[in-house]
Amino acid sequence: MKQTSITPELCRPLSPARTVFNYGMTTIAFLLSGLALLPLLAILLEILRQGVPGLKWEVLTNLPAPVGMEGVPNGFANAIVGTLIMVGIASLISIPVGILTAIYLAEFSQGKAIAQLIRFVVTVLSGVPSIVVGVFAYAVVVLTVKGFSALAGGFALSIIMLPIVILATEEALKLVPTSLRLASSALGASRFQTVFRVTIATALPGITTGVLLAVARASGETAPLLFTALFSQNWFEGLTSPTASLSVMIYNYASSAYAEQNKLAWSASVILVGIVLFVNIASRIVTSNRFKNR
């Protein structure tokens, strides 16, 4: 068996100058990373400092009280319910459409010009400002039905979620090894059976991560809901009625002249950030499990 000789230069320690340079650059990288995290930490600390003292059970279970009334429970439960409903509507629209579109792009459109066109449109859509999406949904839905509604808000959020779901799902499908597809075909499976029983099953953790990130993005959007769902001080009254949401409530109450509404905006910010963080952490857990199972 032939022995490979080790070059002496590979075993020689680094020169003092190279060692100092290495440690210096590592220190700079850590300092810059910490500097990049400072804005996020400052925002989180300020939200927690201002919002946590106002978090009580009644805040999570009651409607907003009229300004100036004392001894009346004051909360934003309707905004939590409205946010969940509109994000749910957006998910029902964007997730099936997005996943099926990504399956077509990754599995069935090789060499077709229409696939390049779809990818270009999706990429452009992912960069469209959310306020433009809100204006579009206002023109398409609100003006058509002549009223603000949860359906209009869900439609606007689905447009924001759609490119995220498509791009993430397509990338997850492309990461599936070709050998798995060939093995499935060798066992007699049809192309559709291979796609839906092998490829999607293997890429499911990555698809789930993209869906969760899209949900987190939609949960914090304000501008589209201002043009579509507007706001309401009441409980959810139906899909065709104006609906409260946490992001719009924060926007309204943060600019209010009343101190009690300002405090409520901080408390709502804690809940909204908590929802977004929970969804992002869930996506990280799914991603980590995906790499552990490989």
Type of residue at 132: V
Give the start-to-end residue ranges of the domains of the chain. 77-292
For the ranges 2-11, 183-192, 230-239, 261-270, the lowest mean pLDDT is seen at: 2-11
Single pTM value for the model: 0.83
Percent of the chain as helix, strand, coil, to the nearest 5:
75, 0, 25
Q: 172 near 195, Cβ under 8 Å?
A: no
Cβ-based burial of 27 (10 A; exposed 0-12, middle 13-18, buried ≥19): exposed
Residue 148 pLDDT more than 70?
A: yes
Average pLDDT over the chain, rounded to whole? 85
HSE value, Cβ hemisphere, 13 Å, CA-based, for 253: 29
Rg (CA), the chain: 25
Residues in the chain: 294
pLDDT digits (tens, 9 = 90+) for 217-256: 898 889 999 999 988 888 888 888 999 899 999 998 888 8
77-292 domain in CATH 1.10.3720.10?
A: yes
